[in-house]
Amino acid sequence: MQNAFPHIITQIVSESPRVKRFFLKRKDEKPITFLSGQFVMVYNEFFNLDQQSRSYSIASVSNTPEEIELCIVLNETGKFTPWLFSLEIGHELMVSEPQGGFVFRGIEEPIKHVFVCTGTGIAPFRSMIHDSLMQGCETVLVFGNRWKEDVLYWDHWNTLQENNLLFRFIPVLSREEVPQFKTGYVHPYYTRELKDLNDARIYVCGWKEMCNQTRDRLKELGFNRRQYFFEQYD
């Protein structure tokens, strides 16, 4: 366990049928600082080695030192999440310091930023989108889910869109047709946003299949490795 410290669960919020938001603060009450997009490792030292820790992106909107938020989907057949979902407020957990290189990159001049994710891949984008807007960039979120009930932070994204002309929210559903939502997979929707652009930044986060397909599509569109960034969850 490298650079891990005891944390206390201060709040647990059910965000969708299979997703919970966990709020954690350090037991020693020291501030937690992180770069937008980073993750922490959560440990259970009593499990076997292969299941002792899992990574979770920090889902807090901005760098509030008192506590961090994690947004975690239950994998019923998984080794770690069923245990996490059995915990209650006040439980003590070992958690690493924030880490990882999938972070919002500074820019010299505002350029369009497109964020593409599915499911809990939304977590690191909460703070990254905040940074993108703070830097005056046109910012688009293409967020794919199967069902409407799976869409995380629905109110947050809609309120942000109402209050900030630079931000657009494109929710996409693959398993049902609902007014206000696009239907299918995320690919045609970010492709449309990037059409005729040669200067843009693209951040992609989620499970392997979506990441691989998006990487191929971005290459076809002519973007290079300095323009797109990935965080893969498996």
Ligand X SMILES: Cc1cc2nc3c(=O)[nH]c(=O)nc-3n(C[C@H](O)[C@H](O)[C@H](O)COP(=O)(O)OP(=O)(O)OC[C@H]3O[C@@H](n4cnc5c(N)ncnc54)[C@H](O)[C@@H]3O)c2cc1C
Q: Per CB under 6 A, which of residues 183..212 are in contact with ligand X?
A: 207
Among 16, 36, 96, 120, binds ligand X (CB under 6 A): 120
- 151 counts as binding ligand X under rule CB under 6 A: no
Least CB distance from residue 30 to ligand X, whole Å? Answer: 22
Cβ-based burial of 180 (10 A; exposed 0-12, middle 13-18, buried ≥19): exposed
- 108 counts as binding ligand X under rule CB under 6 A: no
Nearest 5°: the CA angle 139, 144, 149 is: 115
**Closer residue to ligand X in complex, CB, 139/145:** 145
| C-alpha closest to that of 228 among 210, 208, 203 | 203
- 54 counts as binding ligand X under rule CB under 6 A: yes
Tell me the backbone φ, ψ of residue 40, rounded to 5 degrees.
-125, 160
Q: Per CB under 6 A, which of residues 12..41 are in contact with ligand X?
A: 39
Among 55, 164, 183, 212, binds ligand X (CB under 6 A): 55
Among 24, 123, 128, 137, binds ligand X (CB under 6 A): 123
Q: Which residue is nearest to ligand X (CB)?
A: 78
Q: What is the C-alpha to C-alpha distance for residues 72 and 74, in angstroms, rounded to an integer?
A: 7
Q: What is the C-alpha to C-alpha distance for residues 127 and 22, in angstroms, rounded to an integer?
A: 16
Q: What is the x/- site pattern for ligand X, positions 72-91, by CB under 6 A?
A: xx-x--xxxx----------
- 62 counts as binding ligand X under rule CB under 6 A: no
By the 8 A CB rule, do 72 and 19 touch? yes
Would you say the C-alpha torsion 52, 58, 59, 60 has a positive or negative sign? Answer: positive
Give the count of residues interacting with ligand X (CB under 6 A).
Answer: 20
Q: What is the C-alpha to C-alpha distance for residues 168 and 139, in angstroms, rounded to an integer?
A: 6
Question: Which listed range, 66-74, 88-96, 145-153, 182-190, lies at the site for ligand X (CB under 6 A)?
Answer: 66-74
Which residues contact ligand X by CB under 6 A?
39, 54-57, 71-73, 75, 78-81, 100, 120, 123, 207, 231, 233-234
